[in-house]
Every structure is written in C-alpha cells, then in structure tokens.
Amino acid sequence: MTTAVTGRNTGSPMPSKITVPELRARKSSAGRGEKLAMVTAYDATFARMFDGAGVDAILVGDSLGMVIQGGTSTLPVTLDEVIYHCRAVARGTQRAHIIGDMPFMSYQTSPDAALLSAGRLMKEGGAESVKLEGGQEIADVIRRMVRMGIPVMAHVGLMPQRVHAMGGFKVQGRSDDGAEAILEDAIAVAEAGAYAVVVEGVPAPLAERITNAIEVPTIGIGAGVGCDGQILVSYDLLGLNDTMKPRFVKRFQEFFRLGVEATRTYVDEVRSSTFPGPEHSFGLPVEPRNPVADALSPRHAPATYGPTH
C-alpha cells in the first residue's frame, strides 16, 4: 500500500486514495490482472470495515431504498438521501474510491439535471465519481458529464430503476436480440467516456462478451466470473438480508443470525441482572482479571464515561 499524504489531525500517515485512472487501468486485458472488488455501503462504520478490508471502491447505492429503508424498489430514493449516506461513508473511508449512485429521475430528464445532481453528490456528499443506469439513450448525458470533469460509472443489463418496465427483477439479455442490445449499450456508454460499467443480471457468457468488447473495466453482479471486477450489496454479502437470497448472492457471513443471537444473550443478561457487571459500572470495585492486568490497570473501574476504543 502506498502512503502519501499525512492525516490532518493525527500527523499519522494516511493511505492514498484509489483514483479513477487507477480503477480504469485495472482492465484485465490491460494486463494488470487483479480484479476490482467493490461493495455498497451506507454509513461510516461499514465504510471503515470495508475500507480496512481492502475493497477498491465503495458504492453508496440507491439499493439503500431496499436494505436501509425497507422498500420494495429503489425508485423512491431521493438525491438528498443518497447525499446524506454518501457523507457518512466519506467520513469512514480513507483509501477506497467512493461512488455516489444517481437516484431515479435525478439525471434522466436532461444533461443539465444530470450535471446538477452529480455536482451535489460530489460537493455535498463527498463522492469521487457517480454511477447512473442506462445504455445508448443515456450516452450523450454521460459524454457531457465526462467533459465537465465528472467521472461516470455506467450500469447496463438489469437496471433496477426500470423494474416496472422489466416486469420485475429479471435476468436480462437471454434472447439473441436482448443480448445484442445490452452489448450495444455497454459499447455506447464506454465510448461516451464511462470509466467502468456495472453489468447486472445477465447470462455469464454475455458479460464475458461485453468485457472483451469494451476498453474499460466491467463490474459484474449476477453476471458470472468473466468480468473485470465484482460488486455485491453489502447486506447480501454479510448475510444481513435474511428475507431473500438470490442465486447470484454468496453470503460470506450470517450477520443477521449472529445479531439475533447476540441480542438474545443481551436480553437474557438484562433480565437476569448479569449485565451490566461491575466492569461496566462506575464507582464499584472491579475484581482483578489476572495479575498482569491488575498491575497494568487500576483496581477500580475508570471514572471516565467516554469512548473505550
């Protein structure tokens, strides 16, 4: 890991940020090999966790409408809401690149609307690039944004903001015509200047064709292993979404189950007066845990109330 700038308040070295040119250069055909690993995040704590784990980029996705707000689609999410979550993620992130997702109708009406919305995501939310859904029909908007210095990640295939037009969250590009249209979409947005393209919910062979056809990295979700990188909604990855598990999701942990178990233990300990113990209380003698700990720390619980970590 390279270290360049110095932390403003601490004087400690801060890892340098992953930039758009670095992400773009990770195209597999460019010979750099290492795939891009991306996740979504919506708050500072999760961002810190993912940043520390070494993800390349964090998307503040409009999926927040489903996993944070409990909705059935991403359509109601507003620009102000994405900005709010983006700001929190930016506070928790030192190294990963931060992408702000452009919500439904924040960019479709005109290039000017798109520029203003993207500008707010970057100025107020701390996003370093933006993502929008669309293919050939949105290419001119992307071109204008890129000319104005706004890095754009495109998103083709299954576009969740078009859930009603698609008749549900369904795999796209199964027919020959459908596959050709998605390939054309990917080519159009890449030629318009998108620095990467999310390819969602398409057959794996089509995602591989797209990856071979365009010069910028493809980021797959539900699109097989043939992309230049992958993204997952973090609540799916961590097993926090207990209500459904689509085929393309792999749960790398079962955090929802672990959370229920931990909370059950808390409830039991509160009811049995086991929690809080003396070590969690003020003004009570604390039993020494072992001679070394006793030598190193006072025999009484500290009087401070502040952060313990």
Among 98, 214, 221, 240, binds ligand KIV (CB under 6 A): 221
Q: What residues from 62 to 101 belong to the interface with ligand KIV (CB under 6 A)?
A: 62-63, 101
Question: Contact 28/211 with Cβ under 8 angstroms?
Answer: yes
Q: What residues from 37 to 56 belong to the interface with ligand KIV (CB under 6 A)?
A: 40
Stretch of residues binding ligand KIV (CB under 6 A), selected from 58-66, 118-126, 142-150, 259-267? 58-66
Burial of 51 (0-12, 13-18, 19+ CB in 10 A): buried
The distance of closest approach from Cβ of residue 231 to ligand KIV in the complex, given in angstroms and rounded to an integer, is 5
The distance of closest approach from Cβ of residue 131 to ligand KIV in the complex, given in angstroms and rounded to an integer, is 7
Active site residue 200: yes
106 touching ligand KIV, by CB under 6 A:
no
The distance of closest approach from Cβ of residue 229 to ligand KIV in the complex, given in angstroms and rounded to an integer, is 11
Which of these is catalytic: 81, 128, 133, 200? Answer: 200
Closer residue to ligand KIV, CB minimum distance, 185 or 200: 200
Closer residue to ligand KIV, CB minimum distance, 61 or 193: 61
Q: What residues from 115 to 134 belong to the interface with ligand KIV (CB under 6 A)?
A: none
# residues near ligand KIV by CB under 6 A: 11
Rounded to whole angstroms, the Cα distance separating 241 from 262 reads: 17
Q: Residues in the site for ligand KIV, rule: CB under 6 A?
A: 40, 59, 61-63, 101, 198, 200, 221, 231, 233
Q: Which residues are catalytic?
A: 200
